Amino acid sequence: MSIVNTLVRRELSSYFATPVAYVFIVIFLVLAAAFTFQLGYFFERGQADLKPFFDFHPWMYLFLIPAVSMRLWAEERHTGSIELLLTLPVTLWQAVIGKFLAAWLFIGLALFLTFPIWITVNYLGDPDNGVIFASYIGSWLMGGGFLAIGSCVSAATRSQVVAFIISICLCFVMLLAGHRLVLDFVSAGLPQWLVDAIASISFITHFESISKGVVDFRDLLFFGLLIGVFLYATTVVIEMKKAD
Amino acid sequence: MIKIENLTKSYGDLVAVKDISFTVSPGEVLGFLGPNGAGKSTTMKMIAGFLSPTEGQISVCGHNVESDSMAARQVIGYLPEGAPAYGEMTTSAFLRFIGELRGMDPARLDARITEVVRQLNLSKVLEQPIDTLSKGFKRRVGLAQAILHDPQVLILDEPTDGLDPNQKQEVRSLIQGMAKDKIIIISTHILEEVHAVCNRAIIISGGQLLADATPDALEARSRYHQAVTLVSPAAEQIAGTLKGVSDVSKVEVEGHQVTAFPKAGKQIFAQISTLITQHAWSVSEVQLERGRLDEVFRTITMQGGRS
């Protein structure tokens, strides 16, 4: 545990040692505000909830989380420090989890810094704070899902740009799996159970059900499993591509 | 003690390391020599536990590198090729991070950091980000990281690459200073370095172990071993006379330089120096050759490449 802790602290401090962390947080907050007030008609709707704020999270994450995850392993491979890290008395799992947790905490921090909007909506009206809290948890979990996918992609390449683009593509598919666009396309030739399976991996479906305030165990399990599976895939990919 | 048995590493059809076996005991400084792409780094990566062997066993101080990996890593200090580090960290934060991952307790870590900073002259750059350091300092930070926990086994992949002559000398004396009770394996393609620090040398080419001997014994394999080289304006005339000496097998002339090679097992220096006085040749330089390591290296690795 203390090893994971040491790794998390190093990763987090390295985010803040360069301007990357500050640039990311500022862009995250500006985008979140822009979406909520401009595209989400936060004021015009006249409703005391944060639906217009959370509705855009999947789309913000689509671009912003690959920007965080792209460096997780691609940079280690590029500089060769992966060879140093994985010859220290650290297991591959500890390394993968440590890096993932640091990035996830970082996303959590960015998300936390949106709290003024929560205060605003409470000032203006009387929202259901339980729903908002659930939405925050759901959003963070969804961020973790994106991040785990990005971690796996990042492990497969030494180029951060490649990792960024492929992560966006994969996350886009995961996002839209439940959308008519994808389902109409696949439902033609596939049996119903498979179409249902594809629909059920959609991020948006699970996120929306959490952000309605219904914290269903299945939705939590979905994101938990997704993170677990992709982190496991990360360890497999690192092991496979060590020699390159 | 490092014990390597029938070590093989292949990537698909490409065999990078082919059935290598050897053991290294404490007190030995083993130089790994070989052309680029010979399998030196791959072998070192397997000993350090980064790559898994396709076949064969490696045990380090009694710990199998694969099945008892964490214990093996604790006794090894490893400097990967190019001395990678986390560039955005400062030297002191980086060393502290490595020590914490190695599970060193805070008091010992502090003491060891002070010690390695002194040994490698890092005090000036302690609070600088590693990215901003010169190549020589980066290399020394990498070395500091490797020796931080005072390991019994040191594996250094090209430790002096990119250092200036003074820094090379410092690193060499550092290695010599630690050599007494440790096992040190260094890879290099600088042959003079083998003489300077190693008491044993292994030559690898095409993934195969081609020679395993002391640097002196390797030099003795050179055709220049015990040869005598003279420099004189009358080179051609001297060469003619030397050809007549019974123990001389061959004489080569190159400009003003004459080299006489002895027959196997014979010494010719004494005879030649007598001849010089007898004939009153004007000779500006006489040298008894110890053998040329670069020539041995070329001969061995070229043969290995052909087979």
DSSP state of B90: B
Residues of chain A neighbouring B86 (CB-CB closer than 8 A): 10, 14, 81
Nearest CB to A83; choose among B50, B88, B97: B50
Q: How far is CA B122 from the centre of its chain?
A: 24
A145 neighbors A158 (Cβ within 8 angstroms): no
Residue A102 three-state SS: helix
What mean pLDDT is predicted for residues B51-55?
A: 93
pLDDT at A206: 82
What is the predicted pLDDT for the residue at A152?
A: 95
pLDDT for position A19: 87
Query: Using 50, 70 and 90 to split pLDDT, how confident is the model at B255?
Result: confident
Please give the Cα distance from B75 to B276 (Å, whole number): 58
User: Which of B50, B44, B49, B51 minimizes the C-alpha distance to B64?
Assistant: B49
User: Given its phi and psi angles, is residue B207 left (phi above 0), alpha (psi -120 to 50 degrees) or beta?
Assistant: left
**In angstroms, rounded to a whole number, what is the distance separating the alpha carbons of residues A84 and A104?**
23
Distance of CA A7 to the CA centre of its chain: 20
Q: What is the DSSP string of B186-240?
A: EE-S-HHHHHHH-SEEEEEETTEEEEEE-HHHHHHTSTTTT-EEEE-TTHHHHHH
Return the pLDDT at A1: 66
Taking the C-alpha atoms of residue B227 and residue B225, their distance in angstroms, rounded to an integer, is 5
Residues 6+ apart with CB under 8 A from B161: B82, B139, B188
Residues on B contacting A at a C-beta cutoff of 8 Å: 11, 45, 48-51, 70, 73-74, 76, 78, 80-82, 84-89, 93, 97-98, 100-103, 129, 145
Q: Which of A106-120, A192-206, B122-136 has the lowest mean pLDDT?
A: A192-206
Q: In what order do the strands lie in the sheet with B55-60?
A: B14-24, B2-11, B55-60, B63-64
Alpha-carbon dihedral sign for residues A116, A122, A125, A130: positive
Task: State the count of interchain CB pairs (< 8 A) between A and B.
Answer: 63
Choose between A200 and A116: higher pLDDT: A116
pTM of the model: 0.88
Burial state string for B197-216 with b = 16 or more CB within 10 A and e = fewer than 16: bbbbbbbbbbbbbbbbeebe
Classify strands B76-79 and B153-157 as parallel, antiparallel or unpaired.
parallel
- Provide, as residue numbers in chain A, all residues whose Cβ is less than 8 Å from the Cβ of B70: 89, 91
What residues make up the domain containing A84? 2-243
Which chain A residues have a beta carbon less than 8 Å from that of B67? Answer: none
The residues, any chain, with a CB within 8 Å of residue A229's CB and separated by 6 or more, are A148
- Give chain A's length: 244
Residue range A137-190, pLDDT digits in tens: 989 999 999 999 999 999 999 899 999 999 999 898 888 877 777 777 777 777
Check residues B163 and A95 and name the one with the higher pLDDT: A95
As for how many domains chain A has, the answer is 1
> Mean of the pLDDT values across residues B229-250?
86
A105 — pLDDT class (breaks 50, 70, 90): very high
Phi, psi of B246 (to 5 degrees): -65, -35
- Residue B187's pLDDT is 92
CB contact under 8 A, A89 and B103: yes
Question: Who contacts B37 (Cβ-Cβ below 8 Å, separation ≥6)?
Answer: none
Q: For residue A148, what pLDDT is reported? A: 96
A160: tokens are: 């951060």
Q: What's the pLDDT score for residue A233? A: 96
* Vertex A13: Cα angle to A8 and A16 (nearest 5): 135
